[in-house]
């Protein structure tokens, strides 16, 4: 269910609107701020990685706000298909 919701939000961001308020209304989210922080920003970060805008671990840490490489590495290990696109 969460994957379907995330896919829907990703497609809406890409094809229709980037307004968190409009997306929250479409999916019936109670908190626009929570939707923005937990879903929309993560989708945008993933899109930046996929597009090649983020190429090094330092750039990734800067975008996601990690203070050290341990946190970044922990999340990178959760998504093995992304590990090759971020240099260590």
Cα radius of gyration (the chain): 14
Closest CA relative to residue 41, chosen from 49, 73, 58: 49
- Give the distance from CA 82 to its chain's centroid: 12
Model confidence, pTM: 0.49
CB of 60 closer than 8 Å to CB of 86: yes
Work out the angle at residue 22's Cα, subtended by the Cα atoms of residues 31 and 2, and round it to the nearest 5 degrees.
Answer: 60
pLDDT tens for each residue of the chain, 88 residues long: 667 887 888 888 888 877 888 988 998 888 988 888 878 887 877 777 777 877 777 777 777 677 777 776 776 665 545 545 555 4
């Amino acid at each position: 269910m969460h994957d379907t919701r995330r896919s829907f939000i990703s497609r809406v961001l890409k094809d229709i609107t980037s307004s968190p308020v409009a997306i929250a209304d479409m999916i019936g989210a109670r908190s626009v701020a929570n939707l923005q922080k937990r879903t929309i920003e993560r989708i945008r970060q993933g899109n930046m990685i996929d597009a090649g805008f983020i190429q090094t671990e330092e750039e990734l840490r800067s975008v996601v706000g990690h203070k050290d490489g341990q946190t970044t590495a922990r999340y990178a290990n959760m998504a093995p298909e992304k590990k090759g696109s971020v240099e260590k």
